[in-house]
Homo-oligomer: A and B are copies of this chain.
């Protein structure tokens, strides 16, 4: 039926242990023997039994990458980059000693996030990468901290990518945090410099680290310009979706018809904001400036090209992948802040005068 290691051993006239050794390559084996074993493997078309191997070795070659929304390129880019670093050695066809990088879609649900972590713990995953903003609910943070500690105890390497480190948790190999606050600040500074004074803000879902950090940056910029008075009124929360951006912008325009600029939580939301502005018969940027965040590939193609904040998603994902593999050493203190760069484009301009 299904061919086992013992079959290969018999065919190659060696012991099972030897076959195991050449397959795992972590042990000296005579070249001639190795050759014989590999031939037997090919002839028999042998495929290692992963569960058996993992059971015996008490570790598996699974690496989990958790994302909030797999249909959002923000996550796709990071996850793809990480996978490239992890499973990237261009299969020999025999698939020896390779890690299986898999992405798990939580849909932003905290329960599903924990469930996936449990499932990966069950599989004795070699590593786990958590991407994107985290929920700030205390109960969930506590549950996550406990779960990650357990994973780390069991030997799973935990890496955070685009998410701030957990307080006082030593379970984590490394955390790569985006400078969302700084980026948000620079974006609003840009608008202020252009002369805007009435700036609407379409924020992301409440209780998310990304939402809070970007909003904080925005408010810090306003405060320093002596404009924080109206910022509550000019902020609307929504989800990270185009539709949400559309509706929030309509609401903003209703609340404050004198608005001259709208800052969106991310590029997708900004697209919705643009549509709303246009549907109100207003021009971008002549009547209203619009800005996004992330600099996803489509942003430069929007008309007008979207002013936004560039996050090096691919680079960060790749680095997270290497960190998870142990290929790269963690930054000092296990924490690195990834810079965010302002991309001033055509969707922002000085406000109309008068």
Asked whether any CB of chain B lies closer than 8 Å to the CB of A105, the reply is: yes
In A118-158, the 8 Å CB interface with B consists of 118-124, 150, 154
Residues of B within 8 A of A336 (CB): none
Question: In the assembled complex, which residues on chain B have CB atoms less than 8 Å from the CB atom of A100?
Answer: 104, 116, 119-120, 123
Proximity bits, A67-103, B CB within 8 Å = 1, else 0:
0011111001101100110010011011100101111
Known contacts A47-B118, A83-B105, A301-B275; A111/B123 CB under 8 A: no
Contact status B103-A115, CB under 8 Å: no
What residues of chain B lie closer than 8 Å to A80, measured between beta carbons?
A: 69-71, 105, 107
In the bound complex, do residue B79 and residue A105 qualify as a contact, i.e. CB atoms below 8 Å apart? yes
Choose, from A11-19, A49-57, A251-259, the stretch at the interface.
A49-57
A281→B101 CA distance, assembly (Å) = 45
- Which residue from chain B places its CB closest to the CB of A54 in the assembled complex? B51
Question: Does A297 belong to the interface (CB within 8 Å)?
Answer: yes
Q: Which residues of B contact A242 (CB under 8 A)?
A: 297-298, 301
Among A150, A271, A298, A302, the most chain B Cβ lie within 10 Å of the Cβ of A298
**Which single residue of chain B is at the shortest CB-CB distance from A62?**
B123
The reply to whether the CB of A38 lies closer than 8 angstroms to some CB of chain B is no
**Count class of interface residues, chain A:** 35 or more
Which chain B residues lie closer than 8 Å to A109 at the CB level? 90
Q: How many copies does the complex hold?
A: 2
Closest B-chain residue to A153, C-beta based? B2
CA distance A272 to B301 in the complex (A): 7
Asked if A112 is an interface residue, CB under 8 A from chain B, the answer is: yes
Asked whether, in the complex, the Cβ of A50 is within 8 Å of the Cβ of B114, the reply is: no
Q: Which of A51, A72, A118 has the most CB of B within 10 A?
A: A51
Is B51 a contact of A60 with CB atoms below 8 Å? yes
A111 in contact with B90 given A105-B83, A301-B275 (CB within 8 Å): yes
Q: Tell me the bound Cα distance from A21 to B85 in angstroms.
A: 40
Task: Determine whether the beta carbon of A95 is less than 8 Å from that of B124.
Answer: no
Q: Given the known A-B contacts A54-B51, A55-B52, A298-B271, are A95 and B123 also in contact in the complex, defined by CB atoms under 8 Å? A: no
Given contacts A122-B49, A272-B301, contact A104 B107 (CB under 8 A): no
Asked whether B115 lies within 8 Å of A98 as measured between CB atoms, the reply is yes
Contacts of A22 in B (CB 8 A): none
Within 1-48 of A, Cβ neighbours of B (below 8 Å) are at: 2, 45, 47-48
Shortest A320–chain B CB gap in Å is: 14
Q: How far is the CA of A105 from the CA of B80 in the complex (A)?
A: 7
A274 contacts chain B at the CB level, 8 A cutoff:
yes
A303 at the B interface (CB under 8 A): yes
- Which one of B72, B95, B104, B112 contacts A119 once the chains associate, using CB atoms below 8 Å? B95
- Least CB distance from A324 to B in Å reads 15
Residue A64 at the chain B interface, CB threshold 8 Å: yes
Contact with A91, one of B45, B93, B111, B124 (Cβ below 8 angstroms): B111
Question: What 11 new A-B contacts, CB under 8 Å, besides A100-B104, A101-B105?
Answer: A2-B154, A48-B122, A49-B122, A50-B54, A51-B52, A52-B55, A62-B123, A71-B80, A80-B105, A87-B112, A93-B111
